[in-house]
């Protein structure tokens, strides 16, 4: 390679003919050659993609307007109402994402980690109760267990599922309502100036 740095060259037809000859010549000249045909042959079917969001018992008290998610936050005079609305939105996102993307091999799920001993968790209105019953609180590692399970285990491939402690978990009806989920999705796209995506509508 006269006056040239070593390159990485991807050859799409490098298993025979001109592509193979070019690949040999490029490799002989010092280039790193990637034979796409060989990669395709070696690659197995891709596993399903996964999306995991975090839920909370707080979804039950979230005053979420699904048609105006970007409305002024004056209605959230108590910060835990805002938090509850955000967790309700996460559950609704999971429901609609599952409807749209499960046919494409994407598995959206949501999980409740429990009451976790973090700085944020200790600010929960439930903390005073948990202080009297210490076993209610979980370590961060315990809180992450279901998340890791959802991200890795084949048993967790349940599009739109809501889980806690590696088991199905119930949410309030308004947080899993398909119509509210669709409306929130559409309103969110409008709020950030994005067009509707292709796929199930």
If phi > 0 it is left, if psi is from -120 to 50 it is alpha, else beta; for residue 106 that is beta
Tokens standing for residue 134 = 């210490």
Q: Which long-range contacts (CB under 8 A, 24 or more apart) does 187-190 make?
A: 187/66, 187/67, 187/68, 187/69, 187/70, 188/69
Residue 83 annotated in active site: yes
Cβ-in-10-Å burial (0-12, 13-18, 19+) of 57 comes to middle
Q: Which of 56, 66, 83, 101 is catalytic?
A: 83
DSSP characters over 103-160: GGTEEEEEE---EE-STTGGGSTTHHHHHHSGGGEE-HHHHHHHHHHHHH-GGG--TT
Cβ pair 80, 168 in contact under 8 A:
no
Catalytic residues: 83
């Amino acid at each position: 390679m006269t006056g040239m740095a070593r390159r990485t060259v991807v050859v799409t037809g490098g298993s025979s003919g001109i592509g193979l000859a070019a690949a040999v010549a490029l490799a002989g000249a010092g280039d790193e050659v990637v034979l796409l045909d060989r990669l395709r042959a070696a690659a197995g079917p891709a596993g399903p993609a996964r999306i995991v969001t975090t839920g909370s018992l707080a979804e039950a008290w979230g005053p979420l307007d699904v048609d105006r998610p970007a409305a002024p936050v004056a209605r959230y005079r108590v910060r835990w109402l805002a938090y509850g609305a955000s967790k309700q939105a996460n559950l609704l996102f999971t429901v609609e994402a599952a409807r749209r993307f499960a046919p494409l091999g994407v598995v959206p799920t949501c999980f409740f980690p429990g009451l976790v001993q973090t700085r944020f968790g200790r600010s929960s209105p439930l903390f005073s109760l948990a202080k009297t019953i210490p076993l209610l609180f979980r370590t961060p590692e315990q809180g992450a267990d279901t998340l890791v399970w959802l991200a890795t285990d084949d048993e967790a491939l349940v599009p739109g599922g809501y889980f806690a402690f590696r088991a199905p978990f119930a949410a309030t009806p308004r947080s899993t309502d398909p119509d509210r989920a669709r409306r929130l999705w559409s309103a969110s796209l409008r709020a950030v100036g994005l067009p509707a995506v292709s796929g199930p509508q």
